[in-house]
């Protein structure tokens, strides 16, 4: 019971808070990984590790697609919030957000996607390994024939962000930190860390939700 209580409290605090302090994951990135499949377990990302094996970011036209949401470059991670825009041919069949211990979700992506309907807000037991983490996956069937699945800023409080184990929040504003998968060229694997957003900029983002 205690294992489940911590993620629930963290998620509730994030969604109801009017302000937040900076977290322990200033260089966090959210890669996406594509597999031509109508179902995958969480372990289906293997051997992707964002080091010697990079995510697949080019989808095959017309084939059912599983898209994994990953988290990289973390120190102490307890939750993620992001949103997805689906290209016109990307038909979301279902999503599964159960890859972390104690995982709970306040909202999950549904069609047609976008800053509100495309949001995943999920929390889980604290992870401090620093290794690539699988947050969940979405299945698109029938498969896409054109366009991309893109991460955008969520309309929920604190926009697109990572939650640390003390309920600190790190905003993720740069497109290069948000994975993208396309039919053909144009994808972004977002495995590599970059400098975090300047404090003044992140403060301005938070002020929008006060």
pLDDT digits (tens, 9 = 90+) for 53-108: 999 999 999 999 999 999 999 999 999 999 999 999 999 999 999 999 999 999 99
Share of the chain above pLDDT 70, in %: 83
CA distance linking residue 38 with residue 93, whole number of Å: 9
Q: What is the pLDDT of residue 14?
A: 59
Q: What is the mean pLDDT of residues 125-144?
A: 96
pTM for the model: 0.86
Q: What is the pLDDT of residue 21?
A: 73
Residue among 108, 38, 26 nearest 75 (CA): 26
Q: What is the pLDDT of residue 207?
A: 53
Q: What is the pLDDT of residue 22?
A: 83
Fold held by 2-207: Immunoglobulin-like (2.60.40)
Give the other-Cβ count within 10 Å of 24's Cβ: 18
pLDDT exceeds 90 at position 202: no
Which tokens in the block code for residue 139? 């299945």
Q: What is the pLDDT of residue 11?
A: 63
Strands 77-86 and 161-163: antiparallel
């Amino acid at each position: 019971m205690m294992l489940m209580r911590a993620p629930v409290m963290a998620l509730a605090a994030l969604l109801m808070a009017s302000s937040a302090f900076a977290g322990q994951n200033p260089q966090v990135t959210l890669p996406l990984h594509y597999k031509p499949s109508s179902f995958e377990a969480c372990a289906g990302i293997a051997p992707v590790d964002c080091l010697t094996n990079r995510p697949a970011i080019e989808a095959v036209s017309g084939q059912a697609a599983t898209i994994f949401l990953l988290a990289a470059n973390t120190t102490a991670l307890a939750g993620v919030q992001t949103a997805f825009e689906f290209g016109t041919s990307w038909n979301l069949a279902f999503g599964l957000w159960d890859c972390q211990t104690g995982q709970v979700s306040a909202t999950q992506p549904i069609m047609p996607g976008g800053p509100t309907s495309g949001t995943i807000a999920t929390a889980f037991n604290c992870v401090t390994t620093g290794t690539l983490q699988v947050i969940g996956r979405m299945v698109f069937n029938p498969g896409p024939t054109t366009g991309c699945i893109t991460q955008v800023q969520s309309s929920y409080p604190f926009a697109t962000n990572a939650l640390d184990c003390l309920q600190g929040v790190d905003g993720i504003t740069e497109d290069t930190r948000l994975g993208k998968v396309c039919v053909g060229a144009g994808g972004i694997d977002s495995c590599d860390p970059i400098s975090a957003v300047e404090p003044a900029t992140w403060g301005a983002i938070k002020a929008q939700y006060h």
